[in-house]
Structure 1
Amino acid sequence: MKTEFKFSNLLGTVYSRGNLLFAPDGTCLLSPVGNRVSVFDLVNNKSYTLPFAHRRNIARLALNPRGNLLLSVDEDGRAILTNLPRRVALYHFAFKGEVTALSFAPSGRHFAVAIGRRVEVWHTPSTPDVADGDLEFAPFVRHHSHAGHFDEIQSIEWSRDSRFFLTASKDLTTRMWSLNPEEGFVPTTLGGHRQGVVGAWFSKDQETIYTVSKDGALFQWNYVLRPNATEDAEMGDDNMQWRITDRHYFMQNNANVTCAAFHAESNLLVTGFSNGIFGIYELPEFSTIQTLSISQNDIDYVAINKTGEWLAFGASKLGQLLVWEWQSESYILKQQGHYDSMNSIAYSPDGQKIITTADDGKIKVWDVNSGFCIVTFTEHTSGVTACEFAKRGNVLFTSSLDGSVRAWDLIRYRNFRTFTAPTRLSFSSLAVDPSGEVICAGSIDSFDIHIWSVQTGQLLDQLTGHEGPVSSLAFAPDSSALVSGSWDHTVRIWSIFARTQTSEPLQLMADVLCVAFRPDSKQIAVTTLDGQLTFWSVSEASQQNGIDARRDVSGGRKLTDRRTAANVAGTKSFTTVTYSADGTCVLAGGNSKYICLYDVQSGVLAKKYTVSVNLSLDGTQEFLNSKLLTEAGPRGLIDDQGEASDLEDRLDRSLPGATRGDAATRRTRPEVRVPAVAFAPTGRAFCAASTEGLLIYSLDTALLFDPFDLDITVTPESTLETLRQRDFLKALVMAFRLNERALIRRVYEATPISDIPLVVRDMPAVYLARLLRFAALQADESPHLEFNLIWIEALLSKHGRWLKENKGTLDAELRSLQKAVVRIQTELARLADENVYRIEYLLAQPLIGEEVQEKRLEFEVDEGSDLGPDSEDMDDEGEWVGLD
């Protein structure tokens, strides 16, 4: 089995904190998600996550005007410069302080960064006049630095000509600076607000400045004569100054302004408030266009795309990300992650959807290809602990702490059955018979296993035998047995469909945390609290193998730990385990930053995946930094909330005794943990639920440049030259070596139909998997229907024996190929049916022969007339030739 899984995408979280960015063309939205950056393609309805990761949560993003350089800065001021189209990190740099604002100049030659009370201007590493193919790169060079504010700077806004920029600060002032020394220009301070200034902007003609403060005041500034200047004074710089010419107020019932954005082209001002309402206003008249409530909490950030049509809002409290088209009053994008930590995940049998359940009581269905949540179920009233699909994949079952097990129809998206126990229980584990007729659930409150009939909803039986809470359940894929794990140190194998419901107990040395069946139903994997991973034969009820995983799973210390990571007991065991699709490996995770992949036969650790390197989470560091230790304890645990500058931040609204929820007294840092892992049915990917979201690892990471067997002579130019010489096989192989999709498509579509069987016949076996995958992709995306089918037919007929022999390694390719062919067949059948009805309709119309006879009578004339037909216009039988 292949083990080179690479990080592919991050789902489950769409916005954490920081600022949102629109790409220059307005089609993509960039959102900071923890220590990573997610890109949402709003036109093609897809999302992907950039492969690099910061060491802390991202605080600020900036994109140059050409859209090819992305600058991301984390909470510690460490920046990564990325080539966005290629998704490659170019340079790492430290600003040596917390960055609160970041903005590129419209010229693209400079960017300004606010570090606390200081603002610095830096040269952009890549100049905008360089051609796309060349990249002139130099390390970051500082242009100059400004100090003048007395409190933290909150925003930076450049003028259209890139000569000046405005900085808005919490010290109630806005300051204007010049990029280079300007004749007659003196840095200007604009004061008058009573609370911190949220944003400041130039108008389109740069004759007006607008400033918005936290208390909801909007000031309009113009360059006018000083009040003490005489009427006949000259309009010189000595007699002119920036003054407030108009004041407006938002009046939002004690709600503060949390964010604001201004679109100079259309004079639109968008403001977000702390009560979850946003407003759109037209300046300078200050006429209200729209107000809408989109959240229950603060709106943290708002961004406007280049044309001013789309507004992007981020709310970090609930993890909401919205894109609103204000003219049509419709959502372009509306996504929200889980509020609490995820508990379980499940792949749909076709591998196209992933189900996530969490403590917030919500069940979300995520589309693997697009990366978006397509439906959310909210019927559960408490945390959802487990989820599992029936074999056909149209029915999902979930168990919850609210004492119910629910069945969901994923075609109509509704809850069609609810199962409950005779007494009030909180269900923590779930197992579904592969046929979908019987469902079992276990509880920590009870030692019994409850069994219901799916069709009737009736409780069929309660299995007794365990002497402790049931922690895990699993049905054999062939429905032969049910396996249950308990805290009483035993695993029991139940034959619930036999005449006598016997159970075979397997004795272990510690509490059982999780059990999993191998796909062939002959073996089970069991994880226990002492860090052991054991494998048992179901038919013989004997142990076949065992792995001591304590050293593998342990990693990372918390701030409160008094021992090293190797000696902490809490992270020494796996809480979840699952088999790969072929049954040769198991994947296991727990309260640790590691996911381990083991070979079952040999017990060898095949691969170890690090879930997160984010230092904002507890448990990601092996060793604690002694510089962060103070006399009062670790610096991260000292509560500095009472010293906050804003009153609402100093107020303590926590409830005494509450340990969970928003108003809990005991506040703890989030810890890195993996509560669930799941393999895709194809075996080409797996997903893991983590503190940061749903991580997807894949063998088919769609990187733009992943060369294969490349040498110096293989370039796009040489490939196109080979294509011009009509050497199609060599050109296709060279394109596959470069692995650039546009180049492969060009060679693929340029191959003549008559040469396709010859090219496929001589194609080296090492490229066949890639060609299969590409043909399946083209069949889905390309309009050339018959052309793609000819390629697929040639592949299957010329290499059928080889494909059969290597079926195990080509499962994903063959499955996608089959799906494409079935889709084409379905669409053609539907088209043929429509054509049959259309032909029947046409045949039911009056015959055309009657109209021809009428025309013939109209044109009939005397035989000797010049208007009559010539003799050569008639055939042997006297009929007119060409008469319709």
Structure 2
Amino acid sequence: MKTDFKFSNLCGTVYTKGNLCFTPDGNSLLSPVGNRVTLFDLVNNKSFTFPFENKKNISRIALSPNASLLLSIDEEGRVLLVNFQRRVVLHEFNFKSSVVDVQFSPDGKYFGVAVGKTIKVWKSPGFNREFAPFIFHHQYTGHYDDVTSITWSSDSRFFLSTSKDMTTKIHPILLNNEFNTVTLSGHRDYVVNAFFSGNQESIYTISKDGVLLIWVFIASNEDKHERWRITSRHYFNQSGAKVICSAYHIKSNLLVVGFSSGIFGIWEMPEFNNIHTLSISQKKINSVSINETGEWLAFGSSKLGQLLVWEWQSESYVLKQQGHFYDMNTLSYSNDGQYIATGGDDGKVKVWNTMSGFCFVTFSEHSSGVMMVEFAKSGQVLFSASLDGTVRAFDLIRYRNFRTFTSPTPIQFFSLAVDPSGEIVCAGSMDTFEVFVWSVQTGKLLDIITGHEGPISGLAFSPSGLLLVSSSWDGTVRIWDIFGRGKHVEVLRHNSDVLTVAFRPDGKQLVSSTLDGQITFWDVESGTQVASIEGRKDISGGRKENDRRTAENSSSGKSFNSLCYSADGSCVIAGGNSKYVCLYDVEGQLLIKKYQISHNLSFDGIREFLNSKYMTEAGPLNLIDLTGDASDLEDRLDVSLPGTQKGDLSVRRVMPEIRTKSIKFSPTGRSWAAASTEGLLIYSLDETLVFDPFDLEMDITPASILETLRSADFLKALVMAFRLNESHLIHKVYEAIPPEDIELVIKDLPEKYIDRLLKFISNHMEESPHIEFHLLWVSKMLTTHGKYLKQHSNEFNSSFRLMQKAINRMQEDISKL
């Protein structure tokens, strides 16, 4: 089995904190998720998470105007310079203090960074390897309190800086005697943002208390003074709500403002006409951004982890995503590996598309944390077990909860299993130590199985569906013959509490994990132990901030709470309350690979060693609650319950702990997913390294392509034309292929060229007269590669739409004749 799994995507978290940023073409949105950056392609409906990681959670990102360079800056001011197109880190740098704002100038030559009370301007790096890519230009001072934002003029000659000292300053980028820094003061609360108008003759400044001042440059004849004056003063009139963020679109004169109440408003400037006021969240809006055309507005709310893209003219959502509010507890892959279902402490069940990375349905019927979710092997049904005492079945075609299974007395469900036929569902309880068995068809309780003396931590049906296995904290695994007359029970005893259990895909072997870090393999028929792995040392790692002992001596987090066999049964993947995920070979009981799921130092349990300089008399520096020092009243208010560790992470316990709650292999065997503190991490085999013998050709030139075409090697000529990507050559080769050879060419066409051929035919169909020839290509393509196209339907969605459009247009033209 291949083991070179690489991080491929992060779902389940769409926005954590920081600013949102549209790409220059306006079709994609960049959002900081923890210490990574995710790109949401809003046109093709896909999301992608960059492979690089910052040391801590990202607080600001900025993209250069030509979309070549990306700056991502973490909470402590460490910055990564990334080649945006190649997704490679070029350089690392440290500003040594937290950065409030970073902006590239419109001409891309400079970028400004707001650090404390100063603005530092640097020259933009080039692409060639430099000794020091960041060349310092100038440091601008003059503010008496922290700077809050930077905005450039459209000609890149000036920039505005706003500050908590209630002033706005205009700075020239090239220092000369003609123009000195100008200070604009007139607000009574600190200034959140300031913007130049399109002609640069007006400036709009917005303060936190909801006041907008319009400044105009006036030349006075009497005393020959030129100065900026306030010409009008406007109020947003949001009772009690503060302005948190704003954005201005120069071309359409639109001003968008986000408030602490979760309301946003759109105003047309300079008349200050209110176009829209809308409530989109229960918590404050932390970031707002407008795309290039001014049609789409992006909003991020960090309290709820929400990301919204709103098209204001049609008043519709382009994108509306939210992760689990609290921890993600469990995950399950659908039969074809295309969907992943997750359940969380917020009582929600979400279903994610692995191709696009988006959640397309959320079920919120549960009233307490969801502990287990499971797809039925056949049919579009999803089951979930929750601490609210219900097991629910969801229909994934109509998106509704069609069955609710309950027990005679209220209990909490901790584990779940569905038999392969999808007719029987079982759930294990946490408090009465029983297993309940229901019929899915009727919803009736068929049986209550007793025998365990501790909470039931895991349940699994054998692939044949005849045996049910359960694991418990009483130190036993029991194999039940629940459909047999004799109700035969086999008890497998362990030395410690059993945390989870799983069947091998052929049903002949079991694996269980115990609290002392052991992984034990059992033969199902004989009920004997076949092998065991001592996993304590493999998973241990990371010292928590308040640990009194070193990482290797601490007993916490040294066991596996989730296990899963690979599709071929040769490997087992295991995860627990640690930053590591381990992959073991079953036959040799060897550790094949160890994956570190995060390097984010904002999480507890990532560091191997604690630094004594961060220890104070009051405890670890990172865990001291500094909310009382915040400057704003709403940030100082502590709304959490005393002593809570779960839920409101922002106040009580500053650092969430890194852990893997659930881990599963995809049925296809090409990827695995982990439900972790960061979100839903997906690791997959590197798809890009497809061996293609055509790639080895050194001499692909127009002449060699035509030569290949003359020698009637049509397939090779077509692929060479695609490799060279010259449209007139592709056109020539395509039309030179005889109709009787089309089927042979398509049969041997490498899969990586299918999408390009489909798109080429769809575009070419619209201006070409050869109707039958095109339809022959399309029908042969669909009959030959139908199965592959169906399995990867998500990837080919846009091509299918293009083709449908072209064929419909052709049909309309013919019907008119």
Q: What TM-score, normalized by structure 1, do the two folds share?
A: 0.83
The answer for the alignment partner of 2:93 in structure 1 is 93
Query: CA offsets per residue over residues 398-419 of structure 1, 9 Å max, x none?
Result: 0001000001100111000000
Distance 1:634 1:722, change over 3 A: farther
What runs of 5+ residues in structure 2 fail to find an aligned partner? 763-773
Kept after mapping to 2: 8 A contact 1:732/1:747:
no
Aligned counterpart, 2:142: 148
Distance 2:728 2:181 in 1: 53
Match of 1:20 in 2: 20
Cα pair distance change 1:643/1:748, threshold 3 Å: farther
Q: Is the 8 A contact 2:649 2:655 kept in 1?
A: no
- Correspondence for 1:554: 540
Q: Secondary structure at the match of 2:708?
A: coil
**1:752 — aligned with what?**
737
Change (3 A) 1:740 1:576: farther
Report the secondary structure of 2:365's partner residue.
coil
Whether the aligned pair in 1 keeps the contact of 2:706 and 2:717 (CA below 8 Å) is: no
Which deviates more from structure 2 when the two are superposed, residues 740-749 or residues 562-571?
740-749
Q: Secondary structure at the match of 1:405?
A: strand
The secondary structure found in structure 2 opposite 1:725 is: helix
Aligned partner letter, 2:777: F
Spell out the pairing of 1:73-472 with structure 2 (5 A cutoff).
73-126=73-126, 139-225=133-219, 232-234=222-224, 239-472=225-458
For the 8 Å contact 1:773–1:816, the answer to whether it is kept is no
* Structure with larger Rg: 1
Conservation of the 8 A alpha-carbon contact between 2:72 and 2:80: yes
Distance in 2 of aligned mates of 1:662 and 1:9: 26
> Residue 675 of structure 1 contacts residue 689 of structure 1 at CA under 8 Å; is this kept in 2?
yes
Give me the whole-angstrom Cα distance separating, in 1, the residues matched to 2:788 and 2:318: 32
Q: What's the CA shift for 1:633?
A: 2.6
State the alpha-carbon separation in 1 of the partners of residues 647 and 728 from structure 2: 53
Partner of 2:777: 787
The answer (yes or no) to whether the contact 1:13–1:336 under 8 Å persists in 2 is yes
Change (3 A) 1:46 1:189: same
Q: Is the 8 A contact 1:708 1:739 kept in 2?
A: no
Q: Provide Cα deviations, 1:728-774, integer angstroms capped at 9, x if missing partner.
A: 666788899x999999999996893666788799x8xxxx9xx2465
Alignment of 1:681-830 (within 5 A): 681-702=667-688, 718=700, 722-726=704-708, 752=737, 771-772=750-751, 774-775=753-754, 783=762, 786-787=776-777
1:473 to 459, 481, 489: 459
How many angstroms does 1:284 deviate by? Answer: 1.6
Structure 1 position 667 matched with structure 2 position 653: yes
CA distance in 2, matches of 1:170, 1:40: 33
Q: Output the CA distance in 2 between the equivalents of 1:507 and 1:317.
A: 45
Match of 2:705, SS state, is helix
Shift of 1:240: 1.8
* 1:275-312 residue CA offsets vs partner (Å, 9 max, x unmatched): 00001111222111100000000000100111111110
Deviation at 1:244, TM superposition (A): 1.6
- Contact residue 731 and residue 747 of structure 1 kept, 8 A: no
Identical counterparts, % of pairs = 56
Query: Which residue is equivalent to 1:47?
Result: 47
Distance 1:347 1:780 in 2: 31
Deviations 1:422-449, CA, capped at 9 Å, x for gaps: 1110101000011111110001111111
- Partners of 1:657 and 1:620 lie apart in 2 by 23
Number of paired residues?
786
Structure 1 stretch displaced more, 387-396 or 528-537: 387-396
Contact 1:780 1:820 in 2 (8 A): no
Cα deviation 1:9-43 (Å, max 9, x = unaligned): 11001101000011111101111111111111111
Distance 1:724 1:82 in 2: 40
Distance apart, 1:70 and its partner CA: 1.2
| 3-state SS of 1:642 partner | helix
TM-superposed deviation, 1:98:
1.1
Deviation at 1:629, TM superposition (A): 2.4
Give secondary structure in 2 for the equivalent of 1:416.
Answer: strand
What amino acid is the match of 1:198?
Answer: V
Classify 1:257/1:452 alpha carbon distance in 2 versus 1 (closer, same or farther; 3 Å). same
Aligned to 1:526: 512
Change (3 A) 1:707 1:105: farther
Distance 1:741 1:267 in 2: 41
660-669 vs 625-634, which deviates more? 660-669
Rounded to whole Å, the distance in 2 between the matches of 1:444 and 1:43 is 46
Deviates more, 1:110-119 or 1:727-736: 727-736
Mapped pair 1:29 → 2:29: yes
Question: 3-state SS of the aligned residue for 2:14?
Answer: coil
**Match of residue 515, structure 1, among 467, 479, 501:** 501
C-alpha deviation, 1:724, in angstroms: 3.7
Deviations 1:765-810 (A, max 9, x none): xxx9xx2465488679964674377579889xxxxxxxxxxxxxxx
Residue pair 2:622, 2:654 contacting (<8 A) in 1 also:
no
Whole-Å Cα distance in 1 between the matches of residues 731 and 607 of structure 2? 48
Amino acid at match of 1:577: L
Alpha-carbon displacement from aligned partner over 1:502-539 (angstroms, at most 9, x marks no partner): 11000011101010111111111101100001111111
RMSD over aligned Cα, in angstroms?
A: 3.2
Residue 615 of structure 1 is aligned with which of 588, 601, 612? 601
1:558 counterpart SS class:
coil
Q: Secondary structure at the match of 1:565?
A: coil
Contact 1:433 1:439 in 2 (8 A): yes
One-letter amino acid of the counterpart of residue 700, structure 2: S
CA contact (8 A) 2:702 2:729 kept: no
Q: Is the 8 A contact 1:473 1:484 kept in 2?
A: yes
